Structure 1
């Protein structure tokens, strides 16, 4: 089940941070902490890989609210989409461990915003994800320039880092399952 209470708590906490003046720029790193709950673990008593991806939603939500993107999403009636991802797991996260999640933008192009997220336990990286994300309107992706203009960041440019560009290029050759 989707962690709606955690999601709502993340929004409330991020909004409180904004009210206190703890906002983020698009070039900043968002950090939130959480605990691995019993509802997050699998039969091996570690955080389930699917739950990791779900919890990364919380990090992107904190980032969106604290950068002002969340306010523009509401104002413009925009949505968010994940159009691609790749993830690596390096260390198990066990029940009740305290997790620090980091979220940052690592590049954008005319259509997509590339986000890197990672989970850390006791200063050690446990997983890292790279996501192709976009802002949507009426089911279509909004051009990045329009999103940046709404945030008064029209002059901000961040070409994808080389490792991100390699993933973008490699993903163009991804074979889809054959049509039946």
Structure 2
């Protein structure tokens, strides 16, 4: 596929096959996340980001996501995936991805938070942007994504519940 600019939307297509189904004969939500992964790989390849990451020995890992499922995807439904980067902060890149059915309905939508990594740990996203050397201007992320990112910072980690403790896990 042809190269795209940093803020362009990458469009890819897929189909729901028998191995993508859950027990209710609909697209498995885990498979939907795999489709999102494939969309980001396509966006990365068209941007030449992968070349710069290899050169610096950087990797990329999903560090969080929020997904909204709204329309059922059934066997053999053809899907259009749209992937774009919406911004970054001091730790993460944020991608917006949506999957559309042939009738024009959005089946599901996600925001993916991705961490640029090295052997030493997290790499600030600005390092990749600067390494691309394309004069990329940081966009202002939509307010709702900013609020989601702030809420994620409030989430306790590691999570614990009252009925499971580290000692109980060791005894099991």
Q: Smaller-chain TM-score range?
A: 0.7 to 0.9
The aligned residue for residue 97 of structure 2 is 117
Matched, 1:174 2:162: no
The aligned residue for residue 5 of structure 1 is none
TM-score (norm 2): 0.88
The aligned residue for residue 169 of structure 2 is none
C-alpha distance in structure 2 between counterparts of 1:171 and 1:150, whole Å: 28
C-alpha distance in structure 2 between counterparts of 1:164 and 1:107, whole Å: 10
TM-score (norm 1): 0.84
C-alpha distance in structure 2 between counterparts of 1:63 and 1:139, whole Å: 26
Structure 1 gaps, min length 5: 1-16
Offset of residue 139 of structure 1:
5.4
Contact 1:109–1:159 (CA<8 Å) still a contact in 2? no
Q: Find the residue that maps to 1:118 and give its secondary structure.
A: strand
Comparing 35-44 and 71-80, the one that deviates more: 71-80
Query: Which of 93, 97, 110 is the aligned partner of 2:77?
Result: 97
C-alpha distance in structure 2 between counterparts of 1:46 and 1:31, whole Å: 23
Offset of residue 159 of structure 1:
2.5
Describe how 1:35-114 pairs up with structure 2 within 5 A.
Answer: 35-114=15-94
Shift of the 139–86 alpha-carbon distance from structure 1 to 2, 3 Å rule, reads farther
